[in-house]
Amino acid sequence: MDELNNGNQRGDSYAGTETRAPAALRTILIAMLLGALAGAGVAYIAINTRIAPIARSGVVTVQVAAPLNIAEPNAAQSPTIQYVAEIAGPSVLEVTTDIMITHPFWGSYITGGAGSAVVLSEDGYLITNNHVISDASAIKVRTIYGDSYEAVLIGADAASDVAVLRVDAAGLRPVTFADSDAAKVGELAIAIGNPLGTLGGTVTEGIISAKDRAITVDGDAMVLLQTSAAINPGNSGGGLFNGAGNLVGLVSMKSSGDDIEGLGFAIPSNIVRRIATELIEHGYVTGRPALGVSVQSITRWNDLMRFQLDEPGIYVMNVLRDSPIDLWDQIVAINGMEIQSETDVKAAISACASGDTAEVIVRRQSRTYTLQITLSEKTPEMTDADMY
């Protein structure tokens, strides 16, 4: 498959907080940047701390639609794009983010990102993509009516690319979830979002062009809806709606290339609803398996010499206590799958469930061992430590 790009947009840097450039050059650069900001009518404030998740507050009730009956359409009942835009448009918000970058020469500065979000509940819970808000130090959302809010992160899941935000607002219009399993290839699909980060409320139409597309992104296997509706950077986190105006998917990415058009993807609404509920209730997705190790691919000759290793491979760099795996074990295979990369480790573990027993073959000091390891449940602490 051609290269897949996440659909958020990260703009150029526009505000410096620290620099080691000469004073004259710094003055010229600041003047140029401020001029650009004035022309764009945008102002950002540097924030040096990453957003911390806030406390969760119980269960959110979401609206689930009755099955959409399109077996016998007629002129009076056939779905229209205008109807969907009117009822679903207010449920899609613009997202802008501040991202702190530290450069060895220019110091610390802020860059901007943009995307979309959909309203989960009228009291301020929102859903977007994890990649839209990843590494953000500040998040703002804006409704189609022009109301702006500071958003806080409730929880995020990189494996499914789903994140939950919350704003201090009331009376928002939540989406109604369609049953994505019942979606039909060829039915109307309407994307609403914030393409290019500046065109909030944009509506594009197409069809559901395929279901159950297996896509691997950063080592995580995803099963997505495919759509012909136009998807552009900034659409990520926005809604893909059916002809009744119900959310059938969360827009996630598009396929890019000079000769590629009309090939976008969305996370099915049933998955989005399940992940969002887990994030709100627990702060992470429960039941995910973990081997309890972090690994690194060591292939360069000088690294092998430095660590006194015999051959290139995937080596254990960190391990939970009470594990039969040792530091500097080379992982050879997991459940019969040959391990040649860190992605292979993730894929092999993801095929299991927490509580399963995995057969792990390791090479330790020129000897090979076959270990039986009970997989634990992956916690946020393991995720933060890049453990599989």
Catalytic positions, written as ranges: 131, 161, 236
The C-alpha atoms of residue 369 and residue 204 are separated, in whole angstroms, by: 56
Give the DSSP letter string of 189-244: EEEEE-GGGT-TTEEEEEEEEEEEEEEEETTEEEEEEEE-S---TT-TT-EEE-TT
**How far is the CA of 115 from the CAs of 123, 233, 262, 280, in angstroms?**
21, 8, 19, 21
Burial class of residue 269 in the structure, from the number of CB atoms within 10 Å of its CB (0-12 exposed, 13-18 middle, 19+ buried): buried
- Answer yes or no: are the C-beta atoms of 276 and 298 closer than 8 Å: no
User: What length is written for the chain?
Assistant: 388
Q: Radius of gyration of the chain from Cα atoms?
A: 23
Q: Beta strand pairing status for 176-177 and 63-64?
A: parallel
DSSP-assigned beta bridge partners for residue 176 = 63
CA-based torsion, 133, 136, 137, 143: positive or negative:
negative
